[in-house]
Amino acid sequence: MIVNPDKYEEIFAHIMQNKLRTLLTCFSVSWGIFMLVLLLGTGNGLENGVRKDFEKDATNSIRFSPGQTSIPYQGLEQGRRLRFTNRDYELTKSQTKGIEYISARYFKWSNNTIVYGRETGSYGIWAVHSDHRYIERSLPQSGRMFNQSDIDQYKKVALIGKDIEKELFAGKSAVGEYFQINGLMFRVVGVFSDPGDQRQERIIYIPISTSQRVFSGGNRIHNFVMTVDEAEVSDSKSIEHSIKKEMSVRHRFDPGDDRALYIRNNLERFQKITNLFSNIRAFVWIIGIGSIIAGIVGVSNIMLIAVKERTKEIGIRKALGASPWSIVDMIITESVILTSISGYVGMIFGIITLELMAKVIKGVDYFSNPEVDLKVAFGAIILLVITGTLAGYFPARKAAAIEPVEALRDE
Q: Is residue 325 within a helix (H) or strand (E), and if so which, with residue range?
A: helix 324-360
- pLDDT confidence bin for 213, thresholds 50/70/90: confident
- Residues 119 and 30 reside in one and the same domain: no
Residue 125 falls inside a structural domain: yes
- Indicate if 276 and 222 belong to the same structural domain: no
Residue 267 has pLDDT above 50, yes or no: yes
By residue count, the chain amounts to 411
Q: Are residues 19 and 107 in the same domain?
A: no
Q: At what angle do helices 324-360 and 19-54 cross, to 10 degrees?
A: 40
Last residue of some domain: 195, 228, 261? 228
* 236 in a structural domain: no
Residue 30 pLDDT: 80
Residue 268 neighbours by CB under 8 Å, 6+ apart: 233, 236, 237
Q: Is residue 78 part of a domain?
A: no
Within-domain flag for 306: yes
pTM, to two decimals = 0.67
Task: Give yes or no: residues 216 and 325 share one domain.
Answer: no
How many domains does one find in the chain?
2
Residue 289 resides in a domain: yes
- Pick from 239, 271, 209, 235: which is nearest to 93 by CA? 239
For residues 218 and 336, membership in a common domain is answered with no
361 and 308 part of one domain: yes
Looking at this protein, which amino acid is placed at residue 79?
Answer: G
Q: Which domain holds residue 375?
A: 5-54+271-409
Residue ending a domain, choose from 228, 258, 279: 228
In a domain, 247, yes or no: no
Q: Which residues of 52-71 are buried (b: 16+ CB within 10 A; e: fewer)?
A: bebebbbbbbbbbbbbebee
- Whether residues 334 and 396 share a domain: the answer is yes
Q: Is the pLDDT of residue 206 over 90?
A: yes
224 & 278 share domain: no
State how far the Cα of 6 lies from the Cα of 330, in Å rounded to an integer. Answer: 11
pLDDT reading at 215 higher than 90: no
User: Considering the domain boundaries, does residue 84 fall inside one?
Assistant: no
pLDDT at position 138 over 80? yes
CA 349 to chain centre: 23
Q: Which pLDDT belongs to residue 262?
A: 92
327 with 394, same domain: the answer is yes
**Of 24-33, 178-187, 288-297, 340-349, which has the strongest mean pLDDT?**
178-187
Same domain, 288 and 394: yes
Residue range 41-64, pLDDT digits in tens: 777 777 777 666 666 667 788 899
Residues 221 and 280 in one domain: no
264 within some domain: no
- Is residue 9 domain-shared with residue 114, that is, in the same domain? no
pLDDT at 336 over 50: yes
